[in-house]
Amino acid sequence: MQSNKSPDKSDSHQTTQKHLSHIDQNGQANMVDVTEKAVTQRIATASGFVQMQADTLNMIANGQHAKGDVFAVARIAGIQGAKKCADLIPLCHPLMLSKVQVDFTVDSSLNRVNIRATCKLAGQTGVEMEALTAVSVAALTLFDMCKAVDPHMLIGDIKVEEKSGGKTGDWHRSDNQKG
């Protein structure tokens, strides 16, 4: 009979062998058991962008879009997306988020809106997926609201920028990390 105990995460730092935490020893999908994990403050920040035509960017940046305040709607959608992450990603734990912040920065030099989302809680599991979902849903909402005037928009570079808390501690993406 095989043990259901997963390898100690500290061991994975000492060897090159890594495992997928959502797959058990039999190759079956598995929700990670966080029962024994300590409750700590956990924060994660993700980012991405929506690139568009200059006219489209100017329209939404100046509040001239016929559908109204595009950023306000996309911000609410991003927050709602983070709160619904467990409904969208099958093996994510439902979390009691204490903070979700979604920010937009207009980059006229690249004709894009940069999106940054930070999620926070005191809990037993991280909030990286919630931050990624917030960015993704905000980007999709920007696309949806502007597709009639600019169907060639591009959503891209969605990634975790940093996270803190939990057993593995702090992590920050460095400039040389790609993908």
- Residues designated as active site: 144
Stretch (H or E) spanning 73: helix 70-83
E-assigned strand segments in the chain: 40-51, 99-107, 112-123, 154-164, 171-172
d(CA 133, CA 100) in angstroms, rounded, equals 11
| Residues contacting residue 165 through CB under 8 Å, at least 6 positions apart | 40, 41, 42, 43, 126
Supply angle C-alpha 157, 17, 161, rounded to 5: 25
Contact between residue 138 and residue 102 where contact means Cβ atoms under 8 Å apart:
yes
